[in-house]
């Protein structure tokens, strides 16, 4: 009985000492009136802001406890009737923020290894940028004065600062493979063309599954894949092999062409704002409904700019196939990789992914699909 009682006491103590989950934000809010509402915002997988909690400023201070963050991502604070925001990395550690109403960008975030790493990274990158601006100004002055020796000296300094920045960004990416900051640095290296898309892909593949499944991880993967497709693409025409791509779906997931393939696949470039596209959609719907069970798949690539308009058009036109969009209008990386300069534009692929027809509409589209899948008109 004594052993049982002792065990019960030990279990009770352990339960009382159970570590609390979540994190606390404590903030000094200089210049804010009492009663000012604070909104804590997260960012959804579809890149839309979501208010997850609120607080109220009293005597230029506020404190709020938040649940443990789900995965790796940024949160940010906004304030009623005040423009701008204060960014921070959501992590399960106490966070102290000093906020200045008249200059939100000057606010200081402290607490947690991720925030320390991120804001240290930003501070260092800004220092590199300031130094490059300073050297560029000196270079322009020396060029106007024809000071050849000084121009040569400044050019060497510019090369040195660029190399230091490259080394720093690379170090952050390579030494922080389990950190969101390392993921951000990896994306920066590709954007600056310090890493080729293929090199970036190799480094991305060794990241943790948790990072890859984050909103920023999925976005970087899509950009890497699209950049690889674009870099290797000479011209996608009849007889060419269609390059794989991936992009965000309406529900915020990532979908690739490879995952959408059927016996015959139509890549359909369109947009909600494109009248010829909307006029053609009923014909495409009819062909899809008739031949989907025989192996026809479609992946729609929208050149929309607004999520709401894109999703509404899909529902209104009853487009019951796969869809992706980067919501970048004519700058959409998939459309650029495929050389699309007008819409609607279609690429018809066989089961091996080879382009066998392009830009067919109306009866011509159904005739071709019928030939390929052995149906009758």
Q: Which phi and psi (to 5°) does residue 359 adopt?
A: 55, 45
Long-range contacts made by residues 134-139, C-beta under 8 angstroms, separation at least 24?
135/161
Sign of the dihedral defined by the CA atoms of residues 146, 152, 158, 159, in that order: positive
| Contact between 175 and 117 (Cβ < 8 Å) | no
Q: What is the pLDDT of residue 234?
A: 53
Residue 44: pLDDT band with limits 50, 70, 90: confident
pLDDT of residue 6: 47
Confidence tier at 341 by pLDDT (50, 70, 90): confident
What is the Cα–Cα distance from 192 to 184, expressed in whole angstroms?
12
Q: Does residue 313 contact residue 290 with C-beta atoms inside 8 Å?
A: no
Residues facing 63 on adjacent strands: 26
Please give the Cα distance from 95 to 112 (Å, whole number).
7
Cα–Cα distance measured from residue 257 to residue 300, given in angstroms and rounded to the nearest whole number: 10
| Predicted model pTM | 0.60
- pLDDT value of position 121: 96
Rg (CA), the chain: 27
Structural domains in the chain, sorted by start: 23-109 (2.60.40.3390), 116-229 (no CATH), 238-373 (3.40.30.10)
Neighbour order of strands in the sheet with 345-349: 322-324, 296-302, 264-270, 345-349, 355-358
To which residue do tokens 């899909």 refer? 314
pLDDT at 53: 94
Q: 124-177 pLDDT, tens per residue?
A: 999 999 999 999 999 899 888 989 899 889 989 998 999 999 999 999 999 999
82 closest CA partner among 32, 27, 25: 32
CA distance 120 to 185: 12
**198: which residues sit within 8 A by CB, 6+ positions away?**
228, 231
Residue 69 has a pLDDT of 87
pLDDT for res 182? 94
pLDDT of 14 higher than 80? no
Res 112: pLDDT: 87
Q: Assign 259 a pLDDT band (cuts: 50, 70, 90).
A: very high
Q: What is the mean pLDDT of residues 87-105?
A: 93
What are the residues whose beta carbons fall under 8 Å from the beta carbon of 87, sequence distance 6 or more? 74, 75, 76, 109
**Residue 375 — pLDDT band, cuts 50, 70, 90?**
low
Alpha helices in the chain (DSSP H): 2-16, 113-144, 148-175, 180-191, 197-205, 209-212, 215-232, 275-291, 307-316, 333-337, 362-373
């Amino acid at each position: 009985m004594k052993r049982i009682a002792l065990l019960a006491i030990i279990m009770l103590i352990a339960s009382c000492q159970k570590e609390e989950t979540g994190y606390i934000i404590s903030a000094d809010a200089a210049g804010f009136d009492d009663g000012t509402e604070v909104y804590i915002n997260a960012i959804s997988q579809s890149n839309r802001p979501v208010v997850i909690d609120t607080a109220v400023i009293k005597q230029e201070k506020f404190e709020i406890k938040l649940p443990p963050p789900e995965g790796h991502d940024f949160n940010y604070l906004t304030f009623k009737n005040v423009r701008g925001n204060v960014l921070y990395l959501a992590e399960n550690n106490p966070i102290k923020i000093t906020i200045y109403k008249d200059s939100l960008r000057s606010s200081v975030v402290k607490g947690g290894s991720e925030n320390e790493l991120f804001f240290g990274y930003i501070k260092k990158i800004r220092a590199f940028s300031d130094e490059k601006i300073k050297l560029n100004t000196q270079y322009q002055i020396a060029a106007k004065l024809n000071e050849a020796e000084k121009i040569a000296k400044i050019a060497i300094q510019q090369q040195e600062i660029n190399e230091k920045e490259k080394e720093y960004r690379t170090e952050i990416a390579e030494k922080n493979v389990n950190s969101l900051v390392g993921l951000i640095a990896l994306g920066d290296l590709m954007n600056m063309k310090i890493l080729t898309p293929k090199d970036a892909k190799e480094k991305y593949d060794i990241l943790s599954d948790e990072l890859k499944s984050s909103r920023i991880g999925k976005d970087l993967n899509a950009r890497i894949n699209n950049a690889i497709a674009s870099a290797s693409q000479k011209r996608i025409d009849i007889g060419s092999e269609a390059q794989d791509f991936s992009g965000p779906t309406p529900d915020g997931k990532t979908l690739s062409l490879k995952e959408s393939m059927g016996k015959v696949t139509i890549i359909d470039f369109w947009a909600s704002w494109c009248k010829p596209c909307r006029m053609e959609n009923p014909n495409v719907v009819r062909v899809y409904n008739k031949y989907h069970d025989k192996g026809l798949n479609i992946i729609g690539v929208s050149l929309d700019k607004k999520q709401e308009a894109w999703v509404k058009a899909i529902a209104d036109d009853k487009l019951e196939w796969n869809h992706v969009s980067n919501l970048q209008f004519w700058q959409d990386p998939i459309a650029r990789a495929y050389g699309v300069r007008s819409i609607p534009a279609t690429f018809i692929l066989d089961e091996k992914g080879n382009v066998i027809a392009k830009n067919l509409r109306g009866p011509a589209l159904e005739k071709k699909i019928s030939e390929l899948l052995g149906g009758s008109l």
